[in-house]
Amino acid sequence: MSETRQELAAAKLNLLLLIRGRRGDGYHELATVMVAIDWADTVRVSLTAEPGVRLTVSGDWEVPAGPANLAWRAASLFVERSGCHCGVAIELTKRIPPGAGLGGGSSDAGAVLRALRRLAAPAVPAAALVEWAAELGSDVPFFAAGCAAALCEGRGERVRPLRSGLVGSPVLVVYPGFGCATRDIYRRWRKSLTSIPPEPKMIIAALEAGLAETVGRSAYNALAEAVMGKFPILALIREQLAATGVLGTGLTGSGSSLFGLYRDRQEAGQAKEALAQRFGTSLTVCLASCIDPGGVEAAGWRSPK
């Protein structure tokens, strides 16, 4: 077995995010439908004779290279729980902006867990990997599972993989250049409970059938009103997306990124140009695609523009 493995750490979009109340442990009870997209980091993991975890970071964004990084913590947790007697070296190339609601750090952690399972402990059940991932963060179980789409419940630890009929569909992702403080957004959410949330069944059925227009119309995020209220620029970006040939728009995570689903890449490209004309270079806009991470070879992957 090879001593090194490279994994694609894909970003995610929340097509649906429902909040069903506050739990006794301080977290919120969630139901969210997530899909993977090809705006991604790459994670190269190597087993070493020298004990401990070493992490180096390069790429478009600066993030910590020590225990404050989820990728580092994922490697440390895996070594502890699996009992493998080895050191771990991680090379992380950051392309997903941190704090953007795209799950970049969580995806890095999930990629490290998947790589280490394949390299050092293939006998570890996939369910155990997802269970360990839940100790690192609410989004990490989705990425540890490595699926194209999933319904995640609880605080994210209950992962039900879904068949994604949107694989290959274009999506425009807009990062406004700032992140959102999750705790603050949840506080604001509790003060703005005005909309009636949908049930997940409709969007799940549309996702699995590949009905992009229905998915777009059904996209819903319970935190959107709270986020838009704090950052009016996001409402303007959403307004601009809605003026294009978009099938539907949404907020991912607790912000700050927005996305739009499109019929084809030409329409999505025209929308990208319209955003640039209105907002200039203040936004980071990525024309991405929905993917199945299990079907993408990280070694041959090219970053979307």
In a domain, 239, yes or no: yes
Tokens 């990525």 correspond to what residue? 286
pTM, full prediction: 0.95
In a domain, 281, yes or no: yes
Domain CATH for 276: 3.30.70.890
Task: Indicate the Cα dihedral angle 269, 272, 274, 280, nearest 10°.
Answer: -140
In a domain, 205, yes or no: yes
Task: Indicate the Cα dihedral angle 278, 171, 210, 158, nearest 10°.
Answer: -120
- Helix (DSSP H) and strand (DSSP E) numbers for the chain: 10, 11
In a domain, 105, yes or no: no
Per-residue pLDDT tens, the chain, 305 aa: give them: 458 999 999 999 999 999 887 777 767 789 999 999 999 999 999 999 999 999 999 999 999 999 999 999 999 999 999 998 899 999 999 999 999 999 999 999 999 999 999 999 999 999 999 999 999 999 999 999 999 999 999 989 999 999 999 999 999 999 999 998 878 888 887 755 555 667 899 999 999 999 999 999 999 999 999 999 999 999 999 999 999 999 999 999 999 999 999 999 999 999 999 999 999 999 999 999 999 998 888 877 888 97
Tokens 């609880």 correspond to what residue? 154
In a domain, 140, yes or no: no
In a domain, 48, yes or no: no
Stated length of the chain: 305
Q: What does the block give as tokens for 108?
A: 């890095």
* Residues with catalytic function: 12, 139
Residue 182 sits in which domain range? 170-289
In a domain, 255, yes or no: yes
Q: How many independent structural domains does the chain possess?
A: 1
Residue 234's contacts (CB-CB under 8 Å, 6 or more residues apart) are: 176, 227, 228, 251, 255, 256, 258
Pairwise CA distance, residues 213 & 264, whole Å: 12
In a domain, 106, yes or no: no
